[in-house]
């Protein structure tokens, strides 16, 4: 591994590489902060430009967009209560309340610092343990993926702070939405009502943008302060925010580990890791930390996990040629266009390129801390526009970003429809995040449970016969017990049980 990094150093140690990484970070932060876009969209739009460079420089530019975009969504989540990307949905729970308390600068600084440190941790995991992590990911089968989906679903109990019952209802609605489309096993269409556009189900980008962004903008339209300039209480986050993150090092280490491990599982993604890390952090938190009301630990958990996921996602991408998520799928396409074929032979045939990719990933995460802190005021100036200007601008960006994903007018109708659904849920006090969790994890859970039952001839023993699946089953049971213990601790602290609360 040391020789691989040494060979790659010669490809990275150039001014042009550093400039491209810096430019990629700025672009990534921008597309991440603007609702409806995100790192995937940034990578897709700039792929034709990136492939004009040598492989390591091209991948450094695209990976920097990936890293910056994974962090940028936290900025709008904290300042506007709109997650710029689905990755930042968990950051919303504590980031926005902290900003409302006049600590927006600290919230953004913590998010950027945790993202940089978590991403660097994911890079270290990638560099030091990529062979074993790749072998571990390759050994996962349907039972393991089914139980992993259940692990992610337990996060609903954590994100439904005010009303667990309403959170479970929203999560169940998300699972039902996930069944719409073509059955993977029988090729039969389910709940499509004859609409060809629904043959692949709803576009997750349209759902997330509609639920969060469109419903939020619609709510703002009913206010009487459309002509007032928003008073965002943030000027410039300080570099001292790194110390606020480091003093919570157990949470940081635990969440980064969750992110890196989940990222190494093909198809898992940062949404699962961020919600899971948030749920675990909330479970181990003290009652006085008051998660959901502006807890620093909540931001540390979600942001360190989703950026660490990026490093883990590169493990199956490079070692197996299997994308860890949608963004790394595009990165595989970029490598193929550049004449580099990911997979087991990549490490033997192009060790210098692999080493260079590892180094530019680490460079991007180290630079993220500096670039993110220095560039935040630029995004604040954009987000401080008057609502009468900001709202149509955000709606336009949401429409452009949603349409660009699939070039489908139908996706725009879906976006606006879920905006209306979001308004109804907000009015009824239902949390929005559980529905998104259900939509994302539904196909993963259903398909792998059915595959597991086919492999075992409809027997459930397959979930306990395999060592990894048995371990995951034990973890799920332990998490449920921890949630119950957490609820008991809240009761002893004098608070009502969640299920009795009337609002979300």
Find out whether 83 and 76 touch, Cβ atoms under 8 Å: yes
Q: For residue 190, what is the DSSP state? A: E
pLDDT for 494 equals 53
Find out whether 320 and 294 touch, Cβ atoms under 8 Å: no
Q: Which residues pair with 189 in a beta bridge?
A: 182
Alpha-carbon distance values, 475 to 231, 261, 478 (Å): 44, 14, 5
Q: How far is CA 266 from the centre of its chain?
A: 14
First to last CA, the chain: 50
- What does the H/E/C string look like for 91-148? CHHHHHHHHHCCCHHHHHHHHHHHHHHHHHHHHHHHHHHHHHHHHHHHCCCHHHHHHH
Find out whether 16 and 49 touch, Cβ atoms under 8 Å: no
Give the Cβ contact number of residue 224 at 10 Å. 6
Question: Which residues lie closer than 8 Å to 442 by C-beta, 6 or more apart?
Answer: 174, 175, 176, 177, 178, 179
Which segments of the chain have a pLDDT < 50?
A: 495-504
CA atoms of 254 and 218, how far apart (whole Å): 38
Collapse the DSSP code of 134 into the 3-class scheme (helix H, G, I; strand E, B; otherwise coil) and give the result: helix
Find out whether 318 and 354 touch, Cβ atoms under 8 Å: yes
Tokens of 43: 């990578």
User: What dihedral do alpha carbons 243, 244, 250, 251 form, nearest 10°?
Assistant: -140
Apex 476 CA angle, 472 and 479, nearest 5: 135
Find out whether 256 and 121 touch, Cβ atoms under 8 Å: yes
């Amino acid at each position: 591994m040391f020789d691989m990094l040494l060979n790659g150093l010669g490809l990275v140690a150039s001014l042009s590489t550093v400039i491209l990484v810096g430019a990629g970070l700025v672009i990534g932060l921008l597309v991440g902060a603007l609702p409806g876009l995100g790192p995937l969209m940034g990578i897709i739009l700039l792929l034709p430009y990136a492939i004009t460079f040598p492989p390591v420089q091209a991948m450094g530019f695209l990976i920097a967009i990936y890293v910056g975009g994974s962090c940028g969504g936290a900025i709008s989540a904290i300042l506007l209560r709109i997650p710029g990307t689905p990755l930042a949905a968990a950051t919303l729970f504590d980031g926005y309340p902290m900003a409302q308390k006049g600590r927006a600068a600290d919230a953004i600084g913590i998010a950027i610092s945790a993202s940089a440190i978590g991403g660097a941790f994911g890079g270290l995991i990638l560099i030091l343990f990529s062979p074993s992590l790749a072998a571990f990911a390759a050994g996962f089968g349907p039972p393991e993926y089914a139980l992993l989906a259940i692990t992610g679903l337990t996060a609903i109990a954590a994100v439904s702070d005010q009303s667990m019952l309403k959170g479970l209802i929203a999560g169940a609605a998300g699972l039902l939405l996930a069944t719409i489309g073509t059955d993977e096993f029988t090729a039969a269409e389910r709940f499509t009502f004859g609409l060809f556009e629904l043959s692949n189900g709803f576009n997750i980008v349209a759902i997330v943008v509609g639920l969060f962004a469109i419903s939020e903008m619609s709510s703002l339209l009913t206010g009487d302060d459309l002509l007032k300039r928003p008073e965002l209480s943030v000027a410039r986050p300080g570099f001292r925010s790194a110390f606020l993150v480091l003093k919570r090092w157990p949470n940081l280490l635990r969440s980064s580990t969750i992110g890196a491990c989940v990222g190494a599982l093909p198809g898992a993604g940062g949404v699962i890791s961020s919600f899971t890390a948030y749920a675990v952090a909330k479970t181990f938190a003290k009652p006085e930390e008051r998660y959901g009301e502006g807890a620093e630990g909540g931001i540390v958990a979600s942001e360190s996990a989703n950026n660490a996921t990026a490093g883990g996602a590169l493990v199956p991408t490079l070692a197996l040629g299997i994308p860890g998520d949608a963004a790394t799928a595009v990165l595989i396409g970029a490598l193929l266009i550049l004449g580099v074929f990911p997979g087991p032979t990549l490490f033997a045939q192009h060790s210098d390129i692999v080493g260079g990719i590892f180094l530019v990933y680490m460079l991007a995460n180290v630079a993220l801390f500096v670039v993110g802190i220095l560039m935040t005021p630029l995004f604040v100036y954009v987000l401080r526009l008057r609502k009468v200007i900001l709202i149509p601008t955000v709606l336009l960006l949401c429409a452009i970003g949603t349409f660009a994903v699939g070039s489908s007018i139908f996706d725009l109708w879906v976006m606006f429809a879920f905006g209306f659904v979001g308004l109804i849920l907000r009015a009824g006090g239902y949390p929005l995040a559980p529905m998104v969790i259900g939509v994302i994890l539904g196909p993963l859970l259903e398909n792998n449970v059915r595959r597991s039952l086919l492999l075992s001839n409809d027997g459930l023993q397959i979930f306990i016969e395999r060592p990894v699946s048995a371990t995951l089953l034990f973890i799920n049971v332990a998490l449920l017990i921890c949630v119950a213990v957490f609820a008991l601790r809240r009761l002893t602290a004098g608070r009502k049980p969640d299920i009795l609360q009337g609002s979300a």
